[in-house]
Amino acid sequence: MKTLKRAYLALILLFLYVPIAVLILQSFNAGISRAKWEGFSFRWYVQLIQSPNIMQALYVTVTIAILASLISTILGTMAAIGIHAMSKKPQSMMLTLSNIPMTMPDIVTGISLMLLFIFTKMDRGYFTMLLAHITFNTPYVVLSVLPKLKEMNKHSYEAALDLGATPGYALRKVILPAVRPGIITGAMLAFTLSLDDFTISYFTTSPLVQNLSTLIYSEARKGIKPTMNALSALMFVSLLILLLLINRRTAESS
């Protein structure tokens, strides 16, 4: 029975990762043909770096991921502290409201935000994509910070106030250090989700402002170029490293 379970797990892993392994291997193929190996080469990675469209999309992706993760971490941390301080019934209601964006399909969130931007007559582009990423990242930060707040001694903050600390000082010196692991995990998760997002970005930006995901989609409609293999390989490796770091931090803090 144990052998059968291991074989089943191996089959699932092969099904998931063999296509990615083939893609990464093809990114080092010197030729254009995907059916024939013509030698090992970094040709497509060099072309990738020299492409202005890809470099612009990389700039948009990285800057939005950094800004969105930073802003959503601040908002999510403050929201988590506020929710934690509520009484049981309002807290339950707010937790439900904050969890809804995470359970909704991305396409629903993307179309909803697109309609909001159209209704408010905002031109879709860099700023609207940034707002969209902040919107879907914030609940994940709340989810990361709340467990650390629950582990905290609830009397520590009150004791700091009794000893003469101002609310702001107690927040900086008592609460934030106690929940720092959750804040860092939430920030890294937000950064990873922002890098990886396609659906919401697609509906909340214009063709003139593209991140890597929307660029790959638009290029794939014209036919898969070898540079797209190289770009996809780099994105996979980057996200894998980030996810491993997040999992390690989560394991260390639990």
Alpha carbon distance 105, 110 (integer Å): 9
- Alpha carbon separation from 87 to 56, 94, 182, 196 (Å, rounded): 47, 11, 22, 36
Backbone angles phi, psi at 166, to 5 degrees: -75, 160
The pLDDT score that the predictor gives to residue 71 is 96
The pLDDT score that the predictor gives to residue 126 is 93
The domain that holds 138 is classified in CATH as 1.10.3720.10
In a domain, 49, yes or no: no
Residue range of the domain that includes 89? 58-253
Residue 206 identity (one-letter amino acid): S
In a domain, 28, yes or no: no
Query: For the stretch 51-74, what's the b/e string if a residue is b when 16 or more beta carbons lie within 10 angstroms of its beta carbon?
Result: beebeebbebbeebbeebbebbbe
The pLDDT score that the predictor gives to residue 203 is 93
Residue for token pair 């930060």: 141
In a domain, 16, yes or no: no
The pLDDT score that the predictor gives to residue 68 is 95
Instruction: Judge contact between 83 and 149, C-beta under 8 A.
Output: no
In a domain, 11, yes or no: no
In a domain, 36, yes or no: no
The pLDDT score that the predictor gives to residue 253 is 60
Alpha carbon distance 206, 116 (integer Å): 15
When divided into structural domains, the chain yields a total of 1
Per-residue pLDDT tens listing for the chain (254 residues):
778 888 888 898 888 888 888 888 888 887 777 777 888 888 888 888 888 888 898 899 999 999 999 999 999 999 999 898 888 888 888 888 888 888 888 899 999 999 999 999 999 999 999 999 999 999 999 999 998 888 887 778 878 887 888 888 888 888 888 888 889 889 988 998 998 889 999 999 988 888 888 888 887 777 777 888 888 888 888 888 877 887 776 676 66
In a domain, 33, yes or no: no
In a domain, 101, yes or no: yes
Which residues on neighbouring strands pair with residue 40, listed in sequence order? 29
In a domain, 112, yes or no: yes
